[in-house]
Amino acid sequence: MATRKHALLLFSKPPIPGTVKTRLTVDRGGIFTEEEAAEFFKRSIFDVTEMCFKAMWEMEAEAEAAKQEDPDAPDHIYDFIISTTPAENLDLMKKTYEDAGEWPRPIKYIVDKGENFDEHFDDAFEQIFAMGYDDILAVGGDQPTMPLSHLTRAFRWLDYLDKTYDNGGIVQCPCQECGVSLIGWTSKTPMDHKQVYYNLSGRPALDAYVDKCREANVHMVSLDPVADVDDAQDLAHTTSVLRSLALSAECQPEIFVAHRTLAWLDWKGIKVGTPANEDRDSREAIDVPNA
């Protein structure tokens, strides 16, 4: 009986002050100290991890239901893998998770290597495919507003692409800066990250993936955009969205709320502001006074 293996990859670094989310610090136009920026990132990666676990449980339940209807349906295994760098940070990444308490399912760890971001990302994908996984879905740790449904939909799309096309396909979710917040493809997809993030032409990452898909005749699936958090403006957007999600979850139980991140932002007293709007109705120029 066939067994399909799926990897949910968190491509991340340990939350070391001064090395993560530096554009959120005061020295670079943000509002946090280096320690606060690292704490924000740590809570975000923990929330993203919990969301990944919930998505994998949902996919496993879906696979089990399919087997109940058809005993010949394939088994599906979903694993959560954290890739970090350099090698000396591996123990620190493990300790970061261990210090947070017991996690409800296993976490696998690998170390990615390379001379630039593209090579590190490719190395992580190559290691995971070499372990026999049929597809990889990669997310970052700085996306606490990522919908859980994006992960389950992405895995379903990867399964569809693998069954439908000889060369599989790619799934992506754009971020707010012409990059991606989620990216994945099947083991038979002729795709890599070369000249996507590290390039000298100024081509945005999302455009690079689109160009590579066209050149290799690879099908692409797009999910709704999700913002990551790099600077103070991103943080303001994320804070407002998290608060709206927390309220909406009271009547929308399918919504995942990044509760660690939100609780810390609330504890810090983070308030989002915008310039006062003193403009009157912008449509006034087309209004005709009553005769």
**Mean pLDDT, contiguous 10-residue spans, the chain (291 residues):** 92 95 96 98 98 98 95 95 96 97 97 96 98 97 97 98 98 96 98 93 95 98 97 96 98 97 97 80 63 53
Contact 112, 83 (CB under 8 A): yes
Mind giving me the DSSP string for 114-131? -SSHHHHHHHHHHHHHHT
Residue 185 lies in a domain: yes
Residue 272 lies in a domain: no
- The pLDDT value recorded for residue 275 is 83
Query: Interhelix angle for 232-248 vs 259-267, to 10°?
Result: 110
- The pLDDT value recorded for residue 290 is 63
Residue 182 lies in a domain: yes
Q: Kindly compute the dihedral angle of the four CA atoms of residues 23, 29, 30, 36, in this order, to the nearest 10 degrees.
A: 70
Residue 34 lies in a domain: yes
Cα–Cα nearest to 182, from 139, 149, 120, 238? 139
- The pLDDT value recorded for residue 291 is 53
- The pLDDT value recorded for residue 2 is 84
- The pLDDT value recorded for residue 287 is 58
- The pLDDT value recorded for residue 282 is 66
Residue 93 lies in a domain: yes
Residue 44 lies in a domain: yes
Between the alpha carbon of residue 125 and those of residues 36, 171, 223, the distances in Å are: 31, 14, 21
Cα–Cα nearest to 162, from 188, 192, 136, 128? 188
- The pLDDT value recorded for residue 277 is 77
- The pLDDT value recorded for residue 281 is 66
CATH number for the domain that contains residue 123: 3.90.550.10
Helix (H, G, I), strand (E, B) or coil at 16: coil
Contact 239, 272 (CB under 8 A): yes
pTM of the model: 0.94
Helix (H, G, I), strand (E, B) or coil at 182: strand
Residue 149 parent element (H or E)? helix 148-164
Rounded Cα–Cα distance for residues 8 and 125 (Å): 11
Residue 33 lies in a domain: yes
Domain that holds residue 145: 3-266
Rounded Cα–Cα distance for residues 144 and 130 (Å): 30
Q: Give the residues across from 170 on adjacent strands.
A: 185, 220
Residue 291 parent element (H or E)? none
Helix (H, G, I), strand (E, B) or coil at 192: coil
Cα–Cα nearest to 236, from 208, 205, 183, 272? 272
Number of domains into which the chain is organized: 1
Residue 104 lies in a domain: yes
Number of other residues whose CB lies within 10 A of the CB of residue 92: 13
- The pLDDT value recorded for residue 13 is 93
Task: Tell me how far the alpha carbon of residue 86 is from its chain's centroid.
Answer: 21
